[in-house]
Each structure stands twice: as C-alpha cells, then as structure tokens.
Amino acid sequence: MKEKGFLVVILAACIAGFGGIFINNISMGSTAIAWMRTTVPTVLLGSILLFQGVKLFQGNFKMLLNLSFWSTLRIFLFIMAYTFTSIGNAVVVFYTYPIFTLLFAYKMLDEHISKRQIGLILLAFVGLVVIYANKTFSFADQDFLGMLSALAAAIIFAYIVILMKKMSDGYGRVEILFYQNFIGVILFLPFFMMDLPNVSLPNLGFGVAYGIVIGVVVYYLFLYGLKRMKASIASALMYVEIPSTIFFGWLILDETLSINFLIGAVMIVISSVLLKTGKA
C-alpha cells in the first residue's frame, strides 16, 4: 500500500466529518439537500471536463448509468435512514459497508481476503458499536425501517466502491465523480423546486459549499487513494469519518464527548494504522 494513498484516504475521512456541520446549517428538506449535493458536483465537474475538451458519456455508457443510478439510490436510502431512525442507529448500520466491500472485492476483483484484514475491519466496527453503546436502540417500526434503509445503503455503497475501482483505469477521477451524480440532478430536482421559495441566500451558500466539500473534495481524495490500494482497505480507512464527525460536533456544535467515544475512537485509529502497516 502506498503511504501517500493511505494519508489521502484518511484526510478524505476527516473532511467528511464536516458533513454534519453543513447539514445542520442548511434549512431545506432532505431531498432538496440531496439535489444540492448531486447538482453542484455535476455542474462544476462537467464544466471542468468540457473546458478540458473531454467528450462526455464516452466509453461504457451502461457502466456509467449503472454507477449514477446506484449512487442516486444510495443517497435516497441514506436520507430515509436519517428520517426514520436516529443518527446513531443509521451511522452504525451504514458503516458495515467495508465488510460488504470486502466480500464484493473478493467476488468481483479477485482480491485476497486475509484473516488479519477481517479481524481489523471487525475491530473498527466494534469501535463504532462502543461509540454508540450508550444510545437508545429501538426496534419500533420506524426505527426498523430506518435501519433497514441504512443497511441497503451500506450494501449499495460497497458495490459503488467496486464500480469506482473498476472504472479507475479507464476514466479520470473528475470523470468518475461527474458520472456518479448526474442522474440525481434530474430525480431530486422537483423536491428542490418545492423548497426553493423558502430558501435564503445563506442556505444556498451552505448548500453549494456542502456539494463542493462533500461531493467533490472528499470523493476526489478517496478515488486518489482507491487507485493506490485495495478497495477493501480504502473502505475500512473511511471508518475514521465517525470519530471525525463526533469531534467536529464537539468542537463546533458543543456536543458532549463520552467515554464511549474515546474508547471507540482509539479502536478505530488502531485498526486503521494496522491496516496501513500490514502486508495484506
């Protein structure tokens, strides 16, 4: 594994922790936020590609549609998860995706899975469970629907990681990010139009910043690292997003840090460091 690729993925995970800060400062419906999240990268990256003289939608168009469709569905399911269950429940379930990435990578990319890798990824997941162990975990109908949505989003995101890995040799990082978002621009537009009369300029500004930082910068860095390491390891390193999110919540939103967070964060960091230094 290349040192630079490891550091870039860790940086992507840390920046992704700002996502909750942006969302807390955008007064729009979830689907309207999703439209900003997909549209800003599509317009920005599409303009860059056209300026560079890149012909859009060339190559394997079926694969491009496949990537964009599943990415859009993942965003929708993740929104449902946050709507029907608590943030803690949704995030814990969603971050099972590196385990599914490991399985997809074994099946679709012929990547070897070592017992050490499995153990370290499970260690990171246990760290997440520890972080949220003191939160209420209910199996009421809405909670179950929310957690089921988060699980579906996790499985789909694992598949998306594999698609990105397979496309990384034929398309540049900017192209992959553009194709990931373009279907969402169309599907989420009606929801944004319904919210538009009540949206202020500061909210639009936060929406644009959210689209750039989370939709462009984070994924660009992740793709950079993904090309230089196994898909399963790159996904596992993104576990750092969880302690990053909670840290920024404590720093900016004055949220309380618990002993659960400290123990769980240490487990996640140890897992990430050992994945970096290992040969597998």
Tens digits of per-residue pLDDT, 188-227?
Answer: 999 899 888 888 888 888 889 988 998 889 988 988 888 8
- For 65-69, 94-98, 131-135, 169-173, which range has the lowest pLDDT when averaged over its residues? 131-135
The pTM score is 0.74
Q: Would you call 120 exposed, middle or buried from its count of C-beta atoms within 10 A (0-12, 13-18, 19+)?
A: buried
Say which residue the tokens 């919540």 belong to: 249
Domain extent, residue 120, equals: 3-277
* Residue 265, CA distances (Å) to 128, 165, 270 in order: 8, 28, 9
Q: How confident is the model at residue 70 (pLDDT cuts 50, 70, 90)?
A: very high
Name the H helices within 132-240: 141-167, 173-187, 189-195, 201-212, 219-226, 231-237
Q: Which of 111, 101, 215 is nearest to 159 (CA)?
A: 101
| Assigned token pair, 280 | 């597998």
CB atoms within 10 A of CB 47: 11
Task: Output the furthest CA–CA distance in the chain (Å, rounded).
Answer: 55
pLDDT in the model for residue 61: 81
Q: How confident is the model at residue 42 (pLDDT cuts 50, 70, 90)?
A: very high
Alpha carbons 181 and 39: distance in angstroms, whole number: 7
pLDDT in the model for residue 27: 81
SS3 260: helix
For the segment 130-141, the average pLDDT, to the nearest whole number, is 66
Say which residue the tokens 């793709």 belong to: 223
Is residue 123 scored above 60 in pLDDT? yes
pLDDT in the model for residue 79: 74
Domain count, the chain: 1
pLDDT in the model for residue 69: 92
pLDDT in the model for residue 280: 45
What are residue 107's phi and psi, to 5 degrees?
A: -80, -40
Is residue 153 scored above 80 in pLDDT? yes
Cβ 96 vs Cβ 168: under 8 Å: no
